[in-house]
C-alpha cells in the first residue's frame, strides 16, 4: 500500500471518538511511521461521537474521492427508547420530556415504520453540523437560541424492526447520504404519538464494505507497519 500516493481504509470507529479524532490518529501514526511531516487524510461521512461502526478514511490523492464516496448507501442498526425525548435526540443531552407508551404495540410500530420508506422529508437535528447563516446549527442549540432548519429530501431504501422490547425498539435502516438517524428516532416517536431518542447507533455497512472488513483502532499500528515494510520490499 502507498499511503502517500493514496489509499482507502475502513475502520470501526470507537464509541465516544469524534470522526476527526480518528482522522487525526491515522494521520499522526502514518506521518510518524513514514517519517514525513504532512499527509492529507480525511473521512467520507461523519459519525456522531456516540455512534460506532464503519468509517471510510482516505489518504493522499484518494481524498479527492471523498465526495463521491459519501454518496454510497449506508446501513445502520439503531436502538431507540420510546416515551422520552432529549434536545439532541440521543444520550448527549438529558431527557427533557416524557410521554405515554402504553398504547404502543409491535404491530403499531411496524405500521409506523412503513411510513419512512422511500423518499422522505427530514428536518435535521438542532444539535448538528448543518450550516445556518454561516454557523453550525449546534452553536445556536448550545446557546439555546431558536432557529428554523429546513427539511431535506432523502431516501430510506429499507427499514426493518429487529426487536421490540417496549419501550425499547431496535431497527435496521438502509439509507442515503444526509440521513440523521437521531432525527429518524424523533420522527418515529412522533409517529407513535409519543416521544423517542436514540440509545445506541452502529453503522454496519457503507456501499459493499461491512464491519467485518474494518480494522480496529488497536490493529492500526501493526497494520501500518506491515504495509509499509511490504511497500519498501516491493521497491527493492
Task: Say how many C-beta atoms besides its own lie within 10 A of residue 69's C-beta.
Answer: 20
C-alpha cell at 20: 476527526
**Exposed/middle/buried for residue 79 (C-beta within 10 Å: 0-12, 13-18, 19+):** middle
DSSP string, 191-215: HTTS-EEEEEEEEEEETTEEGGGPB
For 199, list phi and psi in degrees, rounded to 5.
Answer: -95, -40
CB atoms < 10 A from the CB of 181, how many? 24
DSSP H or E run through 131: strand 131-132
CA 10 to chain centre: 14
User: What's the chain's length in residues?
Assistant: 236
| CA-wise closest residue to 78 among 49, 116, 111, 52 | 52
48 is catalytic: yes
**Strand 168-175 to strand 152-165: parallel, antiparallel, or no bridges (unpaired)?**
antiparallel
Q: Which of 48, 158, 213, 234 is catalytic?
A: 48
The DSSP output letter for 91 is T
| Cα end-to-end distance, the chain, whole Å | 15
- List the catalytic residues: 48
Amino acid at each position: 500500500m502507498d499511503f502517500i500516493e493514496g489509499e482507502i481504509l475502513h475502520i470501526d470507529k470507537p464509541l465516544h471518538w469524534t470522526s476527526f479524532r480518528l482522522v487525526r490518529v491515522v494521520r499522526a501514526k502514518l506521518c510518524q511511521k513514514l517519517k514525513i511531516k504532512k499527509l492529507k487524510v480525511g473521512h467520507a461521512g461523519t459519525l456522531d461521537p456516540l455512534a460506532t461502526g464503519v468509517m471510510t478514511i482516505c489518504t493522499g490523492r484518494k481524498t479527492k474521492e471523498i465526495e463521491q464516496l459519501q454518496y454510497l448507501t449506508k446501513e445502520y442498526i439503531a436502538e431507540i427508547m420510546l416515551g422520552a425525548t432529549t434536545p439532541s435526540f440521543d444520550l448527549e443531552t438529558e431527557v427533557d420530556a416524557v410521554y405515554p407508551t402504553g398504547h404502543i404495540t409491535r404491530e403499531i410500530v411496524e405500521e409506523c415504520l412503513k411510513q419512512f420508506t422511500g423518499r422522505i422529508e427530514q428536518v435535521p437535528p438542532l444539535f448538528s453540523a448543518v450550516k445556518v447563516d454561516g454557523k453550525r446549527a449546534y452553536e445556536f442549540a448550545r446557546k439555546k437560541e431558536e432557529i428554523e432548519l429546513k427539511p431535506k429530501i432523502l431516501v430510506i431504501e429499507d427499514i426493518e424492526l429487529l426487536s421490540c422490547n417496549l419501550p425499547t425498539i431496535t431497527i435496521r435502516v438502509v439509507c442515503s447520504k444526509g440521513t440523521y438517524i437521531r432525527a429518524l428516532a424523533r420522527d418515529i416517536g412522533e409517529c407513535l404519538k409519543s416521544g423517542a431518542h436514540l440509545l445506541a447507533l452502529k453503522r454496519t455497512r457503507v456501499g459493499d464494505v461491512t464491519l467485518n472488513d474494518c480494522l480496529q483502532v488497536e490493529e492500526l499500528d501493526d497494520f501500518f507497519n506491515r504495509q509499509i515494510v511490504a511497500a519498501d520490499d516491493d521497491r527493492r
